Amino acid sequence: MTSPPLSPRIRATFAAPIPTAKAWANRYDGRSGPTIDLTQAVPGYPTHPDLAAKLAEGAESPIQARYGTIDGDESLRAALAGDINRVYGADIGAADVAITAGANLAFTMALTVLCGVGDQVMLPVPWYFNNAMAVTMQGLEVLPLPCRAEDGFVPDPDVAAALMTPRTRALVLISPNNPTGAVYPPAVIARFAKLCRERGVWLIVDESYRDFLPESALPPHTLFQDPAWRDGMIHLYSFSKAYCVAGHRTGAMVCGPAVRTELNKVLDTMQICPPRGPLPGLTWAVDNLHEWKAGNRAIIAERARVFREGVGQLQDWKIDALGTYFAYIRIPENASDAMAVGEKLAAECGLLSLVGPFFGPGQDRHLRLAFANVGLEAIAAVPDRLRALG
């Protein structure tokens, strides 16, 4: 008996990259030492103990037995709005914020509100693979915006303007960037915002790694200074990295009333409400863990320094970009393509990475290494694993 057909949109979506990379490591025999897993961006240090205690209280709370409001507790929405106002000099309120079951779901819900079948979504390349997957799953078309290593992988608004078509409905910027770690200058972000206003294109700005920027880099942009920002921009945020709560799946979307009216339908359908247990603890954390987050920024900065110092000494490998959680490195000229190199590194050298082709077209000479995942000892061992590739 032949099974009924499956969704052509899902079948057209490429396979999840991280399980693919981890499967390669199943063949590793340990010859080079313990496996070093630099695939997934997760905090390489524990949750603050007071927050961990509050999360445990939330898990035991009777609120877990009931649904909450579809856009999350007003207390957390107000706390996050206040934090955004502090960082950006903005003037947003709780009504502008919706709490979501992770930033990935926030992105998918944003697409659902903004786009119709057949619309284009422009993604800078290299792109965050889950964004590309979500676009395809929604029946939309990915419009690649190529970025150059020579420019630090910062996208060019002029190139974007030349590539946009009448079907382009949204443009996505991630800064600090995943996968390259690049930080987009405020002037570049402002030019993209101006382009999107002129072309009638929505701008989606994902700042899931904003809390790892040094104080000297704040505010990351001035978009919230524009009184009309609610009419053309959606801002995405994740609590996962900044507060070490990736498993609690909590993110946020900041948008204007027109989007919120339609978003409420999507929130009710796709999540009913965000996970309730973490919300009280995160409300406390937003207001009380500024110094702890600053200490974590210093930890990540030191890991970046050790990575750059070690891998930067290799003759055949080149660091094309490095920042926040990620290094985007170019494989040796005499090596085969990145897919083969990544598989061999995992299976024979015990070093797990994500290969460039996961991040879009033209990336078959690159690997992404999420160095924030591990401690300094493991980072210091990375150069020897790369040398062992042979």
Report yes or no on 1 lying in a domain.
no
Residues 255 and 129 in one domain: yes
Report yes or no on 242 lying in a domain.
yes
Report yes or no on 54 lying in a domain.
no
Residues 161 and 173 in one domain: yes
Residue that the structure tokens 């997957």 belong to: 133
pLDDT tens-digit series, residues 254-299: 999 999 999 999 999 999 999 999 999 999 999 999 999 999 999 9
Listed residues 242, 258, 288: the one ending a domain: 288
SS3 for the chain, per residue? CCCCCCCHHHHCCCCCHHHHHHHHHHHCCCCCCCCEECCCCCCCCCCCHHHHHHHHHHHHCHHHHCCCCCCCCHHHHHHHHHHHHHHHCCCCCHHHEEEECCHHHHHHHHHHHHCCCCCEEEEEECCCHHHHHHHHHCCCEEEEEECCHHHCCCCCHHHHHHHCCCCEEEEEEECCCCCCCCCCCHHHHHHHHHHHHHHCCEEEEECCCHHHCCHHHCCCCCHHHCCCHHHCEEEEEECCCCCCCHHHCCEEEECCHHHHHHHHHHHHHHCCCCCCCHHHHHHHHHHHCHHHHHHHHHHHHHHHHHHHHHHCCCCCCEEEEEECCEEEEECCCCCCCHHHHHHHHHHHHCEECEEHHHHCCCCCCEEEECHHHCCHHHHHHHHHHHHCCC
Report yes or no on 162 lying in a domain.
yes
Confidence class for position 36, pLDDT limits 50, 70, 90: very high
| Of residues 235, 238, 210, the one with CA closest to residue 100 | 238
Can you give the pLDDT at residue 80?
98
Residues 41 and 153 in one domain: no
Instruction: Check: CB of residue 138 under 8 Å from CB of residue 290.
Output: no
- Give yes or no for residue 5 having a pLDDT over 90: yes
Partners of residue 252 on adjacent β-strands: 99, 237
Residues 247 and 316 in one domain: no
Determine the Cα–Cα distance for residues 238 and 241; give it in Å rounded to an integer.
7
Confidence class for position 244, pLDDT limits 50, 70, 90: very high
Determine the Cα–Cα distance for residues 131 and 123; give it in Å rounded to an integer.
8
Residues 329 and 244 in one domain: no
- Mean pLDDT for all residues in the chain: 96
Share of the chain above pLDDT 90, in %: 95
Report yes or no on 3 lying in a domain.
no
Which domain covers residue 90, as residue numbers?
65-288
- Give yes or no for residue 1 having a pLDDT over 80: no
Domain CATH for 319: 3.90.1150.10
Domain CATH for 201: 3.40.640.10
Residues 218 and 355 in one domain: no
Share of the chain above pLDDT 70, in %: 100
pLDDT tens-digit series, residues 314-366: 999 999 999 989 999 999 999 989 999 999 999 999 999 999 999 999 999 99
Instruction: State the total domains in the chain.
Output: 2
Residues 249 and 308 in one domain: no
Instruction: Check: CB of residue 37 under 8 Å from CB of residue 373.
Output: yes
- Give yes or no for residue 390 having a pLDDT over 80: no
Instruction: Check: CB of residue 291 under 8 Å from CB of residue 215.
Output: no
Can you give the pLDDT at residue 250?
97
Can you give the pLDDT at residue 215?
86
- Give yes or no for residue 389 having a pLDDT over 90: no
Residues 208 and 298 in one domain: no
Determine the Cα–Cα distance for residues 106 and 270; give it in Å rounded to an integer.
10
Report yes or no on 55 lying in a domain.
no
- List CB contacts of 170: < 8 A, sequence separation 6 or more: 110, 111, 114, 115, 119, 121, 122, 201, 202, 203, 204
Residues 299 and 332 in one domain: yes
Strands 141-146 and 120-125, how do they pair?
parallel
Determine the Cα–Cα distance for residues 41 and 240; give it in Å rounded to an integer.
10
- Give yes or no for residue 117 having a pLDDT over 90: no
Determine the Cα–Cα distance for residues 191 and 297; give it in Å rounded to an integer.
28
Can you give the pLDDT at residue 216?
87
Residues 24 and 88 in one domain: no
Can you give the pLDDT at residue 82?
98
Can you give the pLDDT at residue 39?
96
Listed residues 272, 288, 304: the one ending a domain: 288
- Phi first, then psi, for residue 205 (nearest 5°) are -115, 115
Please tell me the pTM assigned to this model.
0.96
pLDDT tens-digit series, residues 194-220: 999 999 999 999 999 999 998 888 999
pLDDT tens-digit series, residues 132-181: 999 999 999 999 999 999 999 999 999 999 999 999 999 999 999 999 99
Report yes or no on 207 lying in a domain.
yes
Residues 24 and 82 in one domain: no
Report yes or no on 121 lying in a domain.
yes
pLDDT tens-digit series, residues 175-185: 999 999 999 99
Can you give the pLDDT at residue 2?
87
How many residues are present in the chain? Answer: 390
Residues 108 and 84 in one domain: yes
Q: Is the peptide bond before 185 cis (omega within 30 degrees of 0)?
A: no
Determine the Cα–Cα distance for residues 280 and 274; give it in Å rounded to an integer.
12
Listed residues 256, 288, 320: the one ending a domain: 288
Strands 233-238 and 251-254, how do they pair?
antiparallel
